[in-house]
Structure 1
Amino acid sequence: MKISSVIICGQLVTSRTETLEEYFRNKLDLLTVIGITSPFAPYNVSRCSVYRSGKLIREFRLLGFQIGSMRWYKQPMLFISFSMYIISIFYAVLRLRQKFDLFIGISCFSAFMGVLLKRLKFIKKVIYYSIDYYPKPQKFSFGTLIVIAFRIVDKFCVKNTDLIWHISPRIAEARYKYAKIPPNSYKYLVAPLTYDAKILRFKQIDDVERYTIGFVGTLSENQGLQLLIKAMPQVIRRVPEVKVRIIGKGPYEAELKRMVRNLKLDDYFIFHGFIKSDGEVLDILSRCAVGVAPWTCREDDNVLYADPGKPKLYAFCGLPIIITKGTLIAEEISNKRVGISINYTEDELVEAIVGLFKDKNKLREYKKNAHEFAKQYTTDVIFDSILKSVKDLI
């Protein structure tokens, strides 16, 4: 099948949508990107962008509804956010008055919309880019209803899309474990998370903030920053120069700041908040000495079945990575000496941080390894190979 016109639909500011946008824009006659905004983002950046032969020829804003946080009284408002997404996606396609060869839906909700558009004859083929899989929460909550809805939509997409891209091999395992859908019942390829080679950063060890720890991501409980805060007094006793730079916002932010105040650690933590400029984020991270990804990795954590972007982003910035065990990428990081994989304990986190800060040669080696590791996951390297297979499968 010849592919000359494509729609990419997904959430913005997550790396997946923008990365594919950058990759495809110069490879197609016509590319349309429908980008929606997370309901938890501070403001709406939803847009529809149209490229012809790599040149942006049209762009317009789309509706969004921001709820700001996951507090219990705001959770039902998610239905309003998703309703706005549906309206925005249909509005964009109708306004374009164009039919497309291929729709790439990033996450099950976007793929679901692609299937509907295919049935309305706007789309010929649909790829479902499955970027995570949610186990059911251990305690019943509003999140349980979200997971049930996710499972229903995921199952629909598996049955009705033409091809599935799994961001991690573990997604097929999780879908079989929780939904009893065998991997041999649908067509799929593994399409790991990537970044554009343009964002590669590498600073020599003498050009960075020698004892600074970097973190970027949503400030939620499962991200595990509370472990770092609790461990900091021990780290400070052994490395008094240590600092932590935190980029991002989220529902757990107030609690994290409270912990920092209570432990009198204000001089050691810098909360940058949400930074809109990708370049500024990359510059801050690349000046750090190490990056941390201390996920709690509980049984109901979707990160267990995903290919989270944080570790690879650190590698693209030339940072050795300290990561908790549980994810597939943690094993790869440890095996390739890109960083240190630890259990979710204060003692192991302290030893990992101090061990890297106290051993300059080891830190230098891991920085070099991180840079080489990142080169394996540039978008061109991964997706040039994937696209050859796509044309045969659809």
Structure 2
Amino acid sequence: MKLEDQNILFLTRTMKLGGTENVVLQLCEIFKPLVNKVIVCSCGGVNENKLKEMGIKHYIIPDISEKNPHSIVKTIITIKKIVDKENITIVHSHHRMAALYAELICDKSIVKIANAHNTFHDKKTLTRLAYRNTKLIAVGEMVKKNLVEYYEIPSEQVTVIHNAIKPFEDKITIDSTIEKLHQDGYFVVGNVGRLSEQKGMEYFIDAIPAVLKQHSKTKFLIIGKGELEEELKKRVADLKVEDAVIFMGYRSDIQNLMSQLDLEVLSSLWEGFPLIPIEAFSVGRTVVATGVDGTLEIVQNEENGLMIEPRKPDQIAEAISRFIEDKNLKDKCEYGAKKSYEKEYSFDKFAEAHRDYYRRLLEKS
């Protein structure tokens, strides 16, 4: 089977903002010039506009996370019609339920691939069923370990391909807020992510008073939107640090912003293989990051960042203060961060790995 003859369906839950959706967009960019056609199915989101700009057909389907029988039947019928209509030859899933639907719908002539983006410890039977006849791409070694050890997926069924970020090659667009803070002599710390439980933003906020006690000329930017926004703003108010914290809201120019920060903090409670530290590395910025799952594969303590335990505001504060006080350490970690990006997480390497992976699978089909 030749790659150029394939009709690929990327099946994912949403095309909203997030790491999984970003990977789908990257794969569309990689394979659109190489295959007959690329199709995406999801329940929609703001990234539909990017698919349109790329000339990728997008089908709206029901939310694949819905578990009620009516939704399941409707989703099966909808996806089956798309697979038949578009003569799909490869289904590449990006959610466990997406992989399950592919397993239920596709005959043996269709190649099934699924990305595992996170570590889980639930739904063991469902997961094993979903991945039964599917080749798996784990975004990191910890994700593969989770699949093999917890879900008992054969190791040879799982290939690790690290997530990646395209290099930031645009001219920096100066952010007036950050520019003014630097002009006033502030050290600017950012935390980028969805304002949700996973990202541990409350622990970042709880660390702020301790940093300010030692380094009053520090400002903290929270960049993102999410369901915990009002709760986090109340926490800031309760700690009486409103003057030190700026909620920036959603921004699409993350690498542009990161290039203007002094430091990035990743306070997550769990991660499969996070993109935020890689985005920071791509613009030569170092990070303070919690030692969870895939983050442990990316951040090497005192080489390209500082590693801390999750749910430990005192450790966040101490690490931020170390970078403020020790310019040599900060310079060393920023140099290491850029080297890590170039060696391990470049988009070119990501693209090459996926092209080779597809070609190997098709040779065996």
- Aligned mate of 2:118, from 132, 139, 153: 132
Is the aligned partner of 1:17 residue 2:24? yes
SS at match of 2:159: strand
Seq. identity, %:
20
Structure 1 residues 19 and 200: CA distance shift in structure 2, 3 A: farther
Q: Deviations 1:265-286 (Å, cap 9, x if unpaired)?
A: 11111112233xx33x332222
**CA contact under 8 A between 1:48 and 1:60: conserved in structure 2?**
no
Question: In 1, are the aligned partners of 2:115 and 2:137 still within 8 Å (CA)?
Answer: yes
SS at structure 1 position matched to 2:137: strand
Q: After TM superposition, list the pairs within 5 Å mapping 1:49-198 onto structure 2.
A: 56-57=54-55, 59=57, 62=60, 78-79=66-67, 83=71, 87=75, 90=78, 94=82, 97-119=85-107, 124-135=110-121, 147-148=122-123, 151-161=124-134, 163-179=135-151, 181-184=152-155, 187-198=157-168
Aligned to 1:3: 3
Q: How far apart, CA to CA, are the structure 1 residues paired with 2:149 and 2:288?
A: 29
Shift of 1:133: 2.8
Distance in 1 (CA, whole Å) between partners of 2:297 and 2:148 is: 22
TM superposition shift of 1:322: 0.3
1:233-280 C-alpha deviation (Å, 9 max, x unpaired): 1111222121111122223222211110011111111112233xx33x
Structure 2 vs 1, CA of residues 198 and 89 (structure 1 numbering), >3 Å: closer, same or farther? farther
CA contact (8 A) 1:307 1:328 kept: yes
Q: In 2, Cα distance between the equivalents of 1:318 and 1:167?
A: 22
Instruction: Check whether the contact 1:223–1:293 (CA below 8 A) recurs between aligned residues.
Output: yes
Once the two structures are superposed, residues 301-329 of structure 1 have per-residue CA deviations (whole angstroms, 9 ceiling, x without a partner) of 5x2xx212222122223321101123343
Q: Does 1:227 align with 2:203?
A: yes
Q: 3-state DSSP class of the match of 1:219?
A: coil
Residues 103 and 127 in structure 1, CA contact (< 8 A), matched pair in contact too = yes
C-alpha deviation, 1:79, in angstroms: 4.3
Can you list the C-alpha shifts for 1:79-116, whole angstroms capped at 9, x where unaligned?
A: 47x93996499369639822133221112222223334
Residue 352 of structure 1 aligns to a residue in which SS? helix
Instruction: Work out whether 1:290 is the aligned partner of 2:266.
Output: no
Q: Residues of 1 paired with 2:153 and 2:82: CA distance?
A: 36
Q: 2:341 corresponds to which letter in structure 1?
A: A
Q: Which residue of 1 aligns with 2:291?
A: 325
Deviation (angstroms), 1:59 = 4.2
Residues 182, 283 of structure 1: alpha-carbon distance in 2 compared, 3 angstrom cutoff: closer
SS in 2 for 1:159: coil
* 1:18 partner amino acid: L
- After the TM superposition, which residues 232-251 of structure 1 pair with which residues of structure 2 at under 5 Å, given as runs? 232-251=208-227
| Alpha carbons of structure 1 residues 91 and 391: separation in structure 2 relative to 1, 3 Å | closer
Contact 2:189 2:263 (8 Å CA) reproduced = yes
1:355 matched to 2:355: no
Take 2:57 and 2:354, find their aligned partners in 1: how far apart are those partners?
28
- The two structures have a TM-score, normalised by structure 2, of 0.80
Rate the CA distance shift 1:85–1:250 in 2: closer, same or farther, 3 A. farther
Indicate the SS of the match to 2:3: coil
Secondary structure at the residue paired with 1:160? coil
Q: For residues 199 and 331 of structure 1, what CA distance do their matches in structure 2 show?
A: 26
CA distances 1:163-217 after superposition (whole Å, capped 9, x unpaired):
11111222333234433x1534x522101111223568999xx989461111121
RMSD: 3.6
Q: In 2, are the aligned partners of 1:127 and 1:164 still within 8 Å (CA)?
A: yes
Which stretches in structure 1 are left out of the alignment for 5+ residues?
38-43, 66-76, 136-146
2:36 to 21, 29, 32: 29
Aligned residues: 346
Secondary structure of the 1:132 match is: coil
Retained in 2: the 8 A contact 1:129–1:164? yes
309-318 or 124-133, which moves further after superposition? 309-318
What amino acid is the match of 1:318? Answer: G
User: Match of 1:371?
Assistant: 338
- Per-residue displacement from partner, 1:25-48 (whole Å, max 9, x unpaired)? 2333322233444xxxxxx43749
Contact 2:280 2:286 survives alignment (8 Å) = yes
Change (3 A) 1:356 1:50: closer
Measure, in 2, the Cα distance between the counterparts of 1:112 and 1:156: 7
Judging changes above 3 Å, is the alpha-carbon distance between structure 1 residues 36 and 377 closer, same or farther for their aligned structure 2 residues? Answer: farther
Which AA in structure 1 matches 2:295? I
SS in 2 for 1:334: coil
Gaps of 5+ in 2: none
C-alpha separation in 2, matches of 1:84 and 1:45 = 24
- The answer to whether the 8 A contact 2:3-2:358 is kept is no
The answer to whether the 8 A contact 1:7-1:34 is kept is: yes
How far apart, in 1, do the equivalents of 2:302 and 2:209 lie?
Answer: 30
- Name the SS of the counterpart of 1:22 in structure 2: helix
Q: CA deviation at 1:232?
A: 0.9
